[in-house]
Amino acid sequence: DQQVKQNSPSLSVQEGRISILNCDYTNSMFDYFLWYKKYPAEGPTFLISISSIKDKNEDGRFTVFLNKSAKHLSLHIVPSQPGDSAVYFCAASSPEGGSEKLVFGKGTKLTVNP
Partner 1 sequence: DGGITQSPKYLFRKEGQNVTLSCEQNLNHDAMYWYRQDPGQGLRLIYYSQIVNDFQKGDIAEGYSVSREKKESFPLTVTSAQKNPTAFYLCASSIVGLAEETQYFGPGTRLLVL
Q: Which residues bind partner 1 (CB under 8 A)?
A: 4, 9, 32, 34, 36, 41-46, 49, 51, 89, 93, 99-102, 104-107
User: Could you give the CA distance from residue 65 to residue 59 in angstroms, rounded to a whole number?
Assistant: 12
Distance in Å, CB of 45 to partner 1, minimum: 7
Distance in Å, CB of 47 to partner 1, minimum: 10
Give 77 or 88: the residue with its C-beta nearer to partner 1: 88
User: Could you give the CA distance from residue 32 to residue 50 in angstroms, rounded to a whole number?
Assistant: 6
CA-CA-CA-CA torsion sign (81, 84, 88, 91): negative
Taking the CB of residue 76, how many other CB atoms lie within 10 A of it? 16
Distance in Å, CB of 50 to partner 1, minimum: 9
